[in-house]
């Protein structure tokens, strides 16, 4: 018998082993190629609604087996979310464009927000000019510093001695 020649059953076992190995490598490659991409997203709002909304979106993406998944990180405030994004700790952040250092950011969703100034019922304040010499409480003072600057510059509130006081981090 020729030693270079394998018996029939050894050839069958060798061929079956090669087929199993190629199939296994192909399945692993397919699974690696089609796995979903997970993005970490930082959200922060005083009331926690941003985190709830993004968690609902993340759950929906997972339930429809989308190729993108979201890992939601609640940072507590929009300013902390912007800081986490600027530091490279997260892939995305839900923040306003004027909060924090967003020099590397690209807008995905742009929402228009409004500044709300509330006076107590029965107050004599009817407009911004009536704020002269008064103190205005601001929620999220550090995050809203650019809005305060715009209000000061537009309505010249600094000259009218309007003081802005931070009420919430």
Burial (CB count within 10 angstroms: exposed 0-12, middle 13-18, buried 19+), residue 135: exposed
CATH number for the domain whose boundaries are 7-103: 3.40.190
> pLDDT by residue (tens digit) across 142-157?
777 888 888 888 888 8
Q: Is 137 helix (H, G, I), strand (E, B) or coil?
A: strand
> pLDDT by residue (tens digit) across 32-48?
888 888 999 999 887 78
Compute the distance between CA of residue 49 and CA of residue 22 in angstroms, rounded to an integer.
49
Is-contact 42 75, C-beta < 8 A?
yes
Strands (E), 7-90: 37-43, 68-74
With a threshold of 0.75, does the pTM exceed it?
Answer: no
Q: Is 110 helix (H, G, I), strand (E, B) or coil?
A: coil
Domain limits, the chain: 7-103, 128-168
């Amino acid at each position: 018998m020729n030693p270079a020649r394998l018996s029939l059953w050894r050839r069958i076992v060798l061929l079956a082993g090669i087929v199993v190995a190629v199939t296994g490598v192909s399945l692993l490659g397919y699974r690696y190629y089609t796995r979903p991409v997970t993005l970490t997203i930082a959200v922060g709002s005083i009331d926690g609604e941003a985190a709830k909304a993004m968690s609902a979106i993340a759950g929906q993406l997972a339930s429809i087996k989308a190729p993108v998944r979201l890992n939601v990180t609640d940072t507590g405030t929009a300013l902390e979310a912007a800081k986490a994004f600027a530091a490279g700790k997260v892939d995305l952040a839900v923040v306003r464009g004027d909060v924090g250092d967003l020099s590397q950011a690209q807008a995905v969703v742009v929402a228009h927000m409004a500044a709300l100034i509330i006076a107590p019922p029965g107050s004599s304040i009817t407009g911004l000019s009536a704020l002269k010499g008064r103190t205005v409480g601001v929620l999220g003072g550090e995050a809203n510093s650019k809005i305060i600057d715009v209000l000061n510059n537009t309505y010249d509130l600094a000259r009218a001695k309007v003081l802005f006081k931070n009420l919430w981090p």
